[in-house]
Structure 1
Amino acid sequence: MAREGMDIVVLREPATGSIAEIIPGIGNNLIRFESGGHPVIEPPALLQMLQKEAYAPFQYGMPILFPPNRVHKGRFGYRGREYRLPINEPPDFHLHGELCKRAWEVVEEGVSSEGGAYVTSRFSYASHPDLMAYFPHSLTFTATFRLLEGRLYLEGTIVNDGEEESPFAFGLHPYFSLPFQRGKEIILHAPALEEWPVTSQAMVRGLPSQTEFSRSLNEGVSISEYSELGCSLITLKEGGAVCRIDIPDSAYSIRFRLGPEFPYLVLFRPDWSSAYSLEPYTYVTDAFNLPYEHERTGARGLMPGEVFHFETSMWTEALG
């Protein structure tokens, strides 16, 4: 369907009343998801914001990030090569990459009783000479959104089709729609292992440790008064994670399941909408520039022919 002059893929499930909307033309962004009669993902007020406002493509929906978060001065080195990414958050940072702004190609869509409603889209670096000029690696991203039994699944692959190892850092930035109102409790549960010391821009300032906050996340922490534009960075326990945001006054919770390929999670509360982000990353912010072992920070490469698989799912549940 078309809205505000843009093509949108709509996934519907009449049996559960669930609906998801994806806009392939701007980052393959999941701009809306509702489940169980509740909004899950925070959409932009107007779709045209995604075209006209510089930061909007990574301020709403669920932007796809490569690399996630900031790279200081847009520069880093890997395997003897220096990379210089454009500064898109002046004066100091490259922020969130280009995939969240560029058009993806829809390669398949459909619906079945067994597999639900789905759409598969693809993005290839090789099709964008301007990107290859500063990041010369033929990576191909494929992502499938699937709506089934009230749950929205995202499954995908990233393939290195080139002949050289590529530095690799991937993440997602879902904005979960939450009723931040005075006196309304919101509780976040996450299987946290450690917390990294970070600045307000999620830049790492030391090695992680167990903190009162990281320990408390396992039992549930109130985020009702979490500072606007505040952020935290945690390492998750191994083996994948299910995070939960409880809204007791409205008697429901949002669940967000991550595969083990995402060992790090950034927590962030924007000041431009009533939302909260749980951002799964494959590395910590600006990991290639940190003076720590790559095994600790998640900095890694993708070898020629290597395939990286990722998956997440989100849904709502009633609170008893």
Structure 2
Amino acid sequence: MIKQVLFDGQEAIQASNGQLEMILIPSFGSNVISLVDVKTGRELLVKPDSFAALKESPILHGIPVLFPPNRIKGGTFQFNGVTHEFPINEIGKHHIHGFVYDKPWVVTAQHERNGIITIETAIQLEKPAIYKNASIHLTYELDGTVLRQKAVVKNNGNEAFPWGIGYHTALLFDEKNSVFSLTKKSQWTLSDEAIPTGDQVPGEPIEKKNLQGIALDDAFAAVEQGNEAVLHNKETGCTITYRTDSAFKHWVVYNGNGREGFLCPEPYTCITNAFNMDVPAEVTGLRVLEPGEEDVVAAEIEVTYSKS
């Protein structure tokens, strides 16, 4: 079922396959602001109470699309000998989270076939100058208890550009009764302003860790295969598994002060400030699209139930 609805006066798309139900607002970042487990009626995302709340705090509701993700130190970087400046929008020093999370997207397709619901949206960037010929095409699929996310980034211009994409996925998280797992292989060392120094500390995966009272704003290098973040509520038995393809080389994990009832496992194709790091691109994940080229990245969120 796909239907057009209003969310606090804003046009939205509601889609349900009888197992998951999502609400998408194309005109505001193509943000999936709600994902409900239909059988239990449980909301899985941090859903805004109103459109005003979404506008006031767009990054901590639903699944904001970050292009590029996280901070660019000083809002400045060089590419092919040219200095580029992005707007300073974080602590008066840095640029953060890119240019599409609050912009209008266009719905290009919506249909239900063979039990799979598909909604496609797209945006053609106009600014900043380096991205004036960049486009992003998003596909969301509801398939059983899985929400799939696919992004196609294309260079429609005559000049190459560097890029990265991520999702600031804000999941509800009962700290008292829930545990968190992550298949990371190392952790980035960060400055006081959460910008990587370039160093990494090797470490084991996170296994079923209780995060109550533990404040996180940490960055991790992902494994090449089997990359996933898992949130498990021991009281309800609900497990949310967030998987990505190998294009997503990093996770940033954020939870405020560890007592706010949410957890953001954020998959990134490139690490924070990759545009300025003197580290090989195969490590940072920074990608370059030449004229006419496109790239595809994919992730999915699955909801299951178990007691362990």
Q: Counterpart in 1 of 2:171? A: 176
Q: Distance in 1 between matches of 2:23 and 2:131?
A: 32
Question: 1:3 deviation in Å?
Answer: 2.4
Q: Counterpart in 1 of 2:153? A: 158
Question: 1:256 deviation in Å?
Answer: 0.7
Question: 1:199 deviation in Å?
Answer: 3.4
Does structure 1 residue 262 correspond to structure 2 residue 248? yes
Which letter maps to 2:50? L
Question: 1:216 deviation in Å?
Answer: 4.4
Q: Counterpart in 1 of 2:79? A: 78
Q: Counterpart in 2 of 1:205? A: 197
Identical positions, percent: 22
Cα 1:169/1:256, change in 2 over 3 Å? same
Question: 1:63 deviation in Å?
Answer: 0.4
Cα 1:200/1:106, change in 2 over 3 Å? farther
Q: Please say if residues 263 and 281 of structure 1, whose CA atoms lie closer than 8 Å, have aligned partners that are also in contact.
A: yes
Instruction: Give 1 or 2: higher strand fraction.
Output: 2
Q: Comparing 256-265 with 201-210, which one deviates more in the overlay?
A: 201-210
Q: Counterpart in 2 of 1:309? A: 296
Q: Please say if residues 165 and 303 of structure 1, whose CA atoms lie closer than 8 Å, have aligned partners that are also in contact.
A: yes
Q: Counterpart in 2 of 1:186? A: 178
Structure 2 counterparts to residues 1-320 of structure 1, below 5 A: 1-14=5-18, 16=19, 18-35=20-37, 36-37=39-40, 38-51=42-55, 53=56, 56-112=57-113, 114-125=114-125, 128=126, 131-132=127-128, 134-180=129-175, 184-199=176-191, 201-211=193-203, 215-217=204-206, 219-227=207-215, 230-270=216-256, 273-320=260-307
Question: 1:200 deviation in Å?
Answer: 5.3
> TM-score scaled by structure 1?
0.88
CA deviation string 1:77-136 (max 9, x = no partner): 111111100112241011101200100000111222x152221100011xx3xx14x334
Which letter maps to 1:45? D
Which letter maps to 2:240? I
Question: 1:248 deviation in Å?
Answer: 0.7
Q: Please say if residues 198 and 277 of structure 2, whose CA atoms lie closer than 8 Å, have aligned partners that are also in contact.
A: no
Q: Which consecutive unaligned segments of at least 5 residues does structure 1 have? A: none
Question: 1:262 deviation in Å?
Answer: 0.1
Which letter maps to 1:86? P
Q: Distance in 2 between matches of 1:234 and 1:210?
A: 10
> TM-score scaled by structure 2?
0.92
Q: Distance in 2 between matches of 1:235 and 1:70?
A: 17
Q: Comparing 60-69 with 308-317, which one deviates more in the overlay?
A: 308-317
Q: Please say if residues 137 and 160 of structure 1, whose CA atoms lie closer than 8 Å, have aligned partners that are also in contact.
A: no
CA deviation string 1:26-67 (max 9, x = no partner): 00001000125232211112122233x2xx121211100011
- SS state at 1:163 partner: coil
Q: Distance in 1 between matches of 2:214 and 2:118?
A: 35
Question: 1:240 deviation in Å?
Answer: 4.6
Question: 1:189 deviation in Å?
Answer: 1.4
Q: CA RMSD in A?
A: 1.7
- SS state at 1:197 partner: strand
Q: Distance in 1 between matches of 2:193 and 2:255?
A: 12
Q: Please say if residues 7 and 50 of structure 2, whose CA atoms lie closer than 8 Å, have aligned partners that are also in contact.
A: no
Q: Which consecutive unaligned segments of at least 5 residues does structure 2 have? A: none
- SS state at 1:119 partner: strand
Q: Distance in 2 between matches of 1:196 and 1:136?
A: 28
Which letter maps to 1:237? V
- SS state at 2:283 partner: helix
Q: Distance in 1 between matches of 2:192 and 2:50?
A: 28
Q: Distance in 2 between matches of 1:100 and 1:223?
A: 28
Question: 1:221 deviation in Å?
Answer: 2.1
Cα 1:293/1:156, change in 2 over 3 Å? closer
Q: How many residue pairs end up in the alignment?
A: 300
Q: Please say if residues 180 and 211 of structure 2, whose CA atoms lie closer than 8 Å, have aligned partners that are also in contact.
A: yes
Q: Please say if residues 17 and 115 of structure 2, whose CA atoms lie closer than 8 Å, have aligned partners that are also in contact.
A: no
Question: 1:295 deviation in Å?
Answer: 2.4
Q: Distance in 1 between matches of 2:287 and 2:34?
A: 32
Q: Distance in 1 between matches of 2:135 and 2:143?
A: 26
Question: 1:299 deviation in Å?
Answer: 2.3
Cα 1:69/1:298, change in 2 over 3 Å? same
